[in-house]
Amino acid sequence: MEGSATSNLYTRAEQAARTIRSRTSTQARVAVVLGSGLGGFADEFQDAVRIPYSEIPGFAVSTVEGHAGTLVIGRVGEISVVAMQGRVHFYEGYTLEEVTFPIRTFKLLGIDTLLLTNAAGGINVELSQGALMVISDHLNLMGTNPLRGPNDERFGPRFPDLTEVYSRNLQDIAIQQARALGVEIRRGVYAALSGPSYETPAEILMIRSFGADAVGMSTVPEAIVARHMGIEVLGISCITNMAAGISDQPINHEEVMETAVRVRATFTELLRSIISNLNSN
């Protein structure tokens, strides 16, 4: 049973990769996952090919506003990039295998660098609404792990080391490019919970005591799976709201989307600059 389950995942990822290759001749080494309200970055790609998730075997379709559900392959300057305009989430009812399946597919496409973006709630009071945060580490508080179950050694080892989930080199590139652009950014720890309800003030107090600077409902499963396969990871959070208890304002998804739209130009300029400088480091 174990061999059958693991080989089936690998086979399905191969099928998805073949489908994508059949639609484009571009060979990308960099992939980007664009979080809530940030999908517009991929609309700027040159020579872009767009593939709806529904046309890629194994790709689940997002049910959340702000996640278009399209894979975009194109160029950012001289760099070929694959971008996910939106992701699916554990809270939508998908399994973590389904949530992370695109990352498995990226590995088989030859991707070796993954940029993960998200909209997050700010816990650290020095992170104001609209601020950007480079993820230095994470807390997996989702109650499960995307590597749970049979392991396929073709993807990676049974017990992968997560000492450095988020590449220090990529973090440094992001900080350097932000400073060059005059964009305020800081490093911080991202805590992932399952959602979909926002956290209570008591939960935020607990998470803050654990050392988290921001909180969200994504990114961590993708990062774990990417590191399992040896892909370098950079994570950047857009602080779209202050977490419960940090501010006395109620939290809603519309506020998250509005803030993401407000900072989109700055965020996309930073992403473009980071990607353009990957080969020079």
pTM higher than 0.85? yes
218 - beta bridge partners? none
* pLDDT tens digits in sequence order for the chain, 281 residues long: 344 555 699 999 999 999 999 999 989 999 999 987 778 899 999 999 999 999 999 999 877 655 568 999 999 999 999 999 989 999 999 999 999 999 999 999 999 999 999 989 999 988 888 889 999 999 999 999 999 999 999 999 999 999 999 999 999 999 999 999 999 899 999 999 999 999 999 999 999 999 999 999 999 999 999 999 999 999 999 998 877 767 666 666 676 667 667 778 898 899 999 999 986 44
Segments making up each domain of the chain, as ranges: 2-280
48 - beta bridge partners? none
| Rounded CA separation 126/108 (Å) | 40
Contact 33, 114 (CB under 8 A): yes
* CATH architecture assignment, domain 2-280: 3-Layer(aba) Sandwich (3.40)
Contact 79, 30 (CB under 8 A): yes
Give the strand pairing for 113-122 and 30-34. Answer: parallel
CA 126 to chain centroid: 23
The residues annotated as belonging to the active site are: 36, 67, 89, 91-92, 119, 217-218, 241, 253
Which tokens hold the place of 207?
Answer: 């998470």
- Residue 49, number of CB atoms within 10 A of its CB: 15
